Each structure stands twice: as structure tokens, then as C-alpha cells.
Amino acid sequence: MPELLATFQGPVACTRAAGVPGLTLSGRTAGPVGGQAALAFSAAAPADLPEVLQDAVVERVSSSQYRIASTPREWLISASATHLHREVAAQFYRAVPPRPAPWRKRLFWRAVLALAASRAGLAVLRLLRR
């Protein structure tokens, strides 16, 4: 039974390389999590695979065989490994919001930037730096 690896939504860029990974699919994933993702295959890309696919679905058919399906075609790839990379920064910062900077630090940097905005202020900063 095939195992679903990734379901892309919209255009999917197919990047070929001479080394490993030989093929990388990059695009926006479908589903509740969504976000940018890249799926890299440790195999050469099929010769007839276009540079851009639409709404691609990738499944593992067997231990080393994968199916890339995009209307109206599908391609089988034999790869020793795959690597799925998801962009998780947005979900991370929603779960762990950055702490606000302390008011003293904000005041300090506001003063430094205000001084740096003029020649006289830059001269004062140079004197303070010594």
C-alpha cells in the first residue's frame, strides 16, 4: 500500500542536480499545516519530468520506489533515500512568541540611533567609544 509523503498545492519547482540530491521538488504543501516544503530525492530525475509541476502528490510505492503524480501524468523514481524539509518558522513563533526587549535596552538603542542620525551625534559616539 502506498505511503503518502507530500501533497503540494499549486506550482512545484523541479530542480535537477548532478550530485546528490539529484532531484528536489519545492513548493507549498496542502493541508492544515501548509507552508513551504522541499522534498529531495537521492536519485537522478526522469528525463521527461518538466521543470514545473502543478498540484503534485508524492507517494512511496516500495522501500526504494516513489511515485510523483501530477495531472495528467505520473513518474516512478528509484531512490535510495528522500528528505522532506518543511519551513516551520511561522508555527514556531506562533507557539513561542519572542520576549519583548527590556525598556532600558530599547531606550539605549533609541538614543544611539538618534545620535547616529547626525554628524555631531556620530562625533559624540566616537568619543564615547574611546
Could you give phi then psi for residue 100, rounded to 5 degrees? Answer: -70, 145
Q: What global pTM score does this model have?
A: 0.66
pLDDT 10s digits, 58-102: 999 888 899 999 888 888 888 888 898 988 887 888 888 888 899
Give the whole-angstrom CA distance, residue 97 versus residue 1: 41
Q: Which three cell numbers stand for residue 7?
A: 501533497
The C-alpha angle 56, 42, 68, rounded to 5 degrees, equals: 20
Give the whole-angstrom CA distance, residue 101 versus residue 54: 44
- Please, which residues bridge with residue 70 across strands? 73
The predicted pLDDT at position 103 comes to 94
Q: Please say if the pLDDT value at position 33 is more than 80.
A: no
Q: What is the mean pLDDT of the chain?
A: 87
The predicted pLDDT at position 129 comes to 86
Q: Which three cell numbers stand for residue 29?
A: 504543501
Q: Please say if the pLDDT value at position 107 is more than 90.
A: yes
Give the whole-angstrom CA distance, residue 78 versus residue 22: 11
